[in-house]
Structure 1
């Protein structure tokens, strides 16, 4: 060990005058300086509703950390390894190894240690500069959402992950620099390694044999709070490549060339090939995604809540009919829910106050949630044995970029060959991504969820083919899809999973399949009712009939024909859940249509005086439905104010704002800081009103006619031209 330390000291003396220490410090501080210094001289605007955050975690982590590890650190290691190796190349150090009083392994390892130390100095510089810049920004631009909290454990773990991630890259670059004289080759190979990761980001998949792939894996998961374990797949692979390239580089260095190291004799060549085969097999084994593992029956759901809001319980519902399946009381900002009941794998809603989180969950699953939220925003970190399924749901779509653009732009309506070629290529690409998908911790999708997503993909492609035929021609064989492509898609959905069987895309596909090409050009809706009612009784029939009836009710323009259609078909739906949903759908359409009576809402002004909506009878009332926690609402309010000013001389138009805040005092306090020329009101029972009218998001703009009836329940936003067009038709001096 003493000899190794002396050797490291000697190697360190060799780099004096090369400026590598200064380079490590400068590159470490580069990103923090570029990000923060320009912002010091401009006025900072923090959007209202922004979650409180630690300025130190914000400066160290996030996208800045991703770019630092992905680009800056590899660049430093490429330069440092090359300069250290080239020093010996130029001084003929390789030829004088025999004269050294230490072993060649100690010589080689000391060079590697110096490279790693310089990398650690760069990491330390990044952390120090980030912390200093964040503190300066806190002083220059103070804001109540910024916190000076410093999570030391988080910082140490994050730093440790980065340090381990660079070990493999350092070993690769030293090996390459020893093998090839000159700066060009080592820089070129290092640059190709970084480029391979950029290509992996575009293709959404990295090659398993790419020794630079640990950077790609780190890019996908820079936040340790979002990993089941903080030492993850990127670190394991980095250590693997470190060992491999330290061995290769050492033997190359020791025997002064590739042939002398690995193939000078037949025995040596056989041993080298055997070790290569063993290493390749080990790499393949390590890179295999870890299969999904189910626990015991039931589900375990626990977590912590970081919020200033009062939350009594966390509730769990089914996503289809919103049936409550459980609730967990919140005690000291933590909750825990366990059920021994068997839950089918499905999407479930976890409701925390007015926030909703969708989880893919089934029997045998466990979840540990770290949730930070306020009235406006929510950030969630999830640890789970079903993490890969959740990751795929949140980050992957069924269509690729090119095919999506073609669908949105309705491209190739005159070129079916090109359309189907693009569709087939996109299908093959997305199949490959699905089959090879693993989350950043190398956890594989559960087979159940993978089958569902593959079936869903097939359905979506078939539906888009159907839409393409509707836009072009059902009868012209020129626009018919390739038979082998359609057969492959259909083969994937022969046995639909439970998740797929209730999916809207699948139900629409089943409905389309009931119609012949001739039916498509006649009265397809009426024909479908006849064909559905001929199907055998059961859940599938109810699902199809409910889907078609709901869609057809929306297309009816008057309540008389709508109610008549509903009465003729509702008794054919036997499933209670679907029947109740259809009754709710009919009620919602009827009360929301133009000309329907609107309730005489009773609200309070900022003085606490009760006012009824009927006070404004005889005028068109333009309502802004908003809340203080809604950032988009507050962004559009100045435009609403401007429109009020624009139409202030028209006596038959009245603008009002109605707050849906649960907390009346927050609304009052907001008005004190942001006074308005528009009458402001607070609706005490806003939740019931929004539920009755199925208003799921705000801001929402509503126009009520002079008789107190609905004129437009979903008016365009004030910053849209359509808003002006609507009001111009109503204005009257």
Structure 2
């Protein structure tokens, strides 16, 4: 050990004149300065409704951390490994060293330690400059959303993960820098490694034999709060390749060549072969996705809340029909809910105040949330045994980019052979991706969720094939899909999973299946109603009838015909939940259609007096529904002001602005800083109004006619050409 320390000290002295320490510091500081300078000159506006955040974590984590580790740190490893090795390639430096009282193993390991030490300095530089510059930016551009909190444990764990992720790559770069005297070969290998990772990002897949894949894995999961375990897949891969290339590099160097090291005699060949097989088996074991595991019969959800809001409880409801599954009290901003009742795999919603989080959950699952929220925004980190399902559900589509573009551009409508060839190829590729999918922690999909997604994928291809035939021809056989392809898709959904059976895409597929090619050329709506009503009573009939009835009333503009159609079909729906849903949808459509009476809103003025909306009866009222916490609302308000001035001489058009803020004080405070020439009002009990009209987002622009009826319930935005066209038409009324 003493000789190893001596060798390390000697190596450290040798690299002092190479400028590697300064290079490490400069490259580590590069991204922090790239981020800091633009924000110093032109800071990004941070809205008051933004979630509070640690300035240190914000500067270190996220995209900057990914780019630093993926590009900058890798580039430094390539440069440093070459420079360390090249100093001893010159003038037979290796042979001179070997005359010293240290063995070859100590010489080789000392160089690896030096390379890691320089990498440590580069990482230290990245963290240090981010901390210093973010602190400077905090005082130059203060904002209430910025916090000076510093999580030492998070910082330490993140640092260790970065360091662990590059151990294997450092061993590889040193290996090739030592065994090849020329600078170019090890440099090219490093660049090829970088290129392979860029390819992995684009194609969303990695190669199990790629030693650089630890950085790709890190790229997909840089945030430790999203990991079930601190030591994750990227670290295991890195440890494996570190051991492999330290062994290869040392023996190749010490035996003066690859053949002498591994293939000199039969014994070496046998040992090398055994090690190769064992290493390949271990790599296969490490890279093989870990199967989903249930924790038993109990399902649990726990979490912590970081918020200024008063949250008393968290509710768990089903996504379909919003049925209550459970509720738990929030104590000291933490909650913990569990149930031993059997929960089928389904989509559920966590309701936290006025915010919602969707999860795919089944019996025996556990979830641990770390949630930040305020009145307008919510973010979270999640740990779960079903984490892979959550990631796939949120990020993965059933179609590849080429097939999706073909659907969007409709550029293959006259080339059915090419369309189906592309569809079949895309289907095969996405089946493989689904079968071998694993998240960044190498957790595979659960079998029940995988079965659902494969069936859903088949349904979506079938629906697109039906859409393609609608756009082309139902009768011309050249536009018909290949039978083998069609049969394979249909075979996948012979036994639909419970989750698929209520999916909108599947229900649309079932409706399409009820129509013959001749039916497709006729009045499909009336034919479908007739065929659905012939089905036996049950859930399937209720699902299909509800789906088709809802679609029919949504596209119907004649309210009398819509209500007549609804009355004729609603009695044939037996399920109470489906009936309630349809009645609610009909009410929503009827109250928001053109010509429906708009409610008499009681509005509050900034001077404290109240005012009814009917004050403006006899004019077209252009209403801007907004809130002081809504960033897009505040961005569009100056345009709304401009439009109001543009139509100031039109006596039959009145612009007004109605705030939906929960707290009147926030609306008043905003008006003090941003006065307006447009009449400003505040609506009390705004949530009740939004719920009644199912207004999910703001800003929302609504036009009321002179009789107090809805003229346009979802008007274009003031910065759109359609807005001007709509208002120009009002001059003629």
Could you tell me how far apart the structure 2 residues matched to 1:603 and 1:319 are? 34
In 1, distance between residues paired with 2:529 and 2:406? 33
CA distance in 1, matches of 2:535, 2:712: 39
Determine the C-alpha separation between the residues in 2 that align with 1:330 and 1:648. 52
Q: What is the aligned partner in structure 2 of residue 130 from structure 1?
A: 130
* C-alpha contact (below 8 Å) 1:40/1:137 kept by paired residues: yes
Q: How does 1:161-180 map to 2 (within 5 A)?
A: 161-180=161-180
- Matched ranges for 1:185-334 at <5 A: 185-334=185-334
Q: Structure 1 residue 11: deviation in Å?
A: 1.3
Distance 1:509 1:363, change over 3 A: same
Tell me, in whole angstroms, the C-alpha distance in 1 between the residues paired with 2:339 and 2:628.
37
Over residues 482-511 of structure 1, what are the superposed CA-to-partner deviations in whole Å (9 max), with x where a residue is unaligned?
A: 222222211211111111111001100110
Root-mean-square deviation (CA, aligned residues, Å) is 1.4
1:84 maps to 84
User: What's the CA shift for 1:98?
Assistant: 4.8
8 Å Cα contact 1:368/1:382 also seen in 2 = yes
Counterpart for residue 613 of structure 1: 613
Q: Distance in 2 between matches of 1:629 and 1:227?
A: 32
Deviation of 1:583 (Å) = 1.0
Q: Using the alignment, how far apart are the partners of 2:334 and 2:607 within structure 1?
A: 38
Residue 46 (structure 1) shift: 2.3
Q: Is 1:355 matched with 2:343?
A: no
1:399 aligns with 2:399: yes
Partner of 1:480: 480
Q: Secondary structure of 1:572's match?
A: coil
- TM-superposed CA distance for 1:633, in Å, is 1.4
Number of the residue aligned with 2:721: 721
Query: Which stretch has the larger CA shift, 417-426 or 705-714?
Result: 417-426
State the partner residue of 1:575.
575
Cα drift, residue 253 of structure 1: 1.2
Deviates most, 215-224 or 350-359 = 350-359
Contact kept? 2:48, 2:145, Cα under 8 Å = no
1:447 correspondence with 2:447: yes
- The Cα of 1:430 is off from its aligned counterpart by 1.8
Unaligned ranges ≥5, structure 1:
none
Which one is further off, 396-405 or 493-502? 396-405
In 2, Cα distance between equivalents of 1:452 and 1:635: 42
Paired residue for 1:7?
A: 7
Q: For residues 695-706 of structure 1, what are the structure 2 equivalents within 5 Å?
A: 695-706=695-706
The answer to whether the 8 A contact 2:366-2:384 is kept is: yes
In structure 2, how many angstroms separate the alpha carbons of the residues matched to 1:688 and 1:106? Answer: 75
State the match for 2:623 in structure 1: 623
CA shift, 1:721, in A, is 0.9
8 A contact 1:511–1:544 mirrored in 2: yes
Q: Distance in 2 between matches of 1:96 and 1:496?
A: 73
SS at match of 1:303: strand
Between the aligned partners of 2:242 and 2:647, the Cα distance in structure 1 is 71
**Are the counterparts in 1 of residues 715 and 723 from structure 2 also a CA contact under 8 Å?**
yes
Residues 159-168 or 47-56, more deviating: 47-56
Q: Greater shift after overlay, 373-382 or 540-549?
A: 373-382
- Structure 2 distance, partners of 1:641, 1:98, is 81
Which residue in the other structure is 1:103 paired with?
Answer: 103
| CA–CA distance in structure 2, aligned partners of residues 116 and 614 of structure 1 | 74
How far apart are the structure 1 equivalents of 2:144 and 2:166? 37
Structure 2 portions without partners, runs of 5+? none
Distance in 1, matches of 2:429 and 2:273, equals: 34
TM-score, normalization: structure 1? 0.98
Aligned residue for 1:92, secondary structure, equals: helix
User: Which residues in structure 2 correspond to 1:361-400 (within 5 Å)?
Assistant: 361-400=361-400
Residues of 1 paired with 2:554 and 2:709: CA distance?
19
**What is the alpha-carbon distance in structure 1 between the residues aligned to residue 667 and residue 38 of structure 2?**
36
Distance, in Å, in 2 between the alignment partners of 1:249 and 1:4 is 17
> Helix, strand or coil for the counterpart of 1:91?
helix
Match of 1:422?
422
- 2 CA distance for matches of 1:368 and 1:70? 29
Tell me the residue number matched to 1:677.
677
Question: Within 1, Cα distance between the matches of 2:3 and 2:98?
Answer: 16
Count of aligned positions: 733
- Looking at structure 2, the residues matched to 419 and 141 of structure 1 have their Cα atoms a distance apart, in angstroms, of 54
- Tell me if the contact between 2:48 and 2:144 (Cα under 8 Å) persists in the aligned partners: no
Match of 2:664 in 1: 664
Q: Is the 8 A contact 1:601 1:613 kept in 2?
A: yes
TM-score calculated relative to the size of structure 2:
0.98
Aligned-partner Cα distance in 2 for 1:667–1:425: 56
1:610 and 1:363 mapped to 2: Cα distance? 53
Are 1:651 and 1:732, in contact at CA under 8 Å, matched by a contact in 2?
no
Aligned match of 1:538: 538
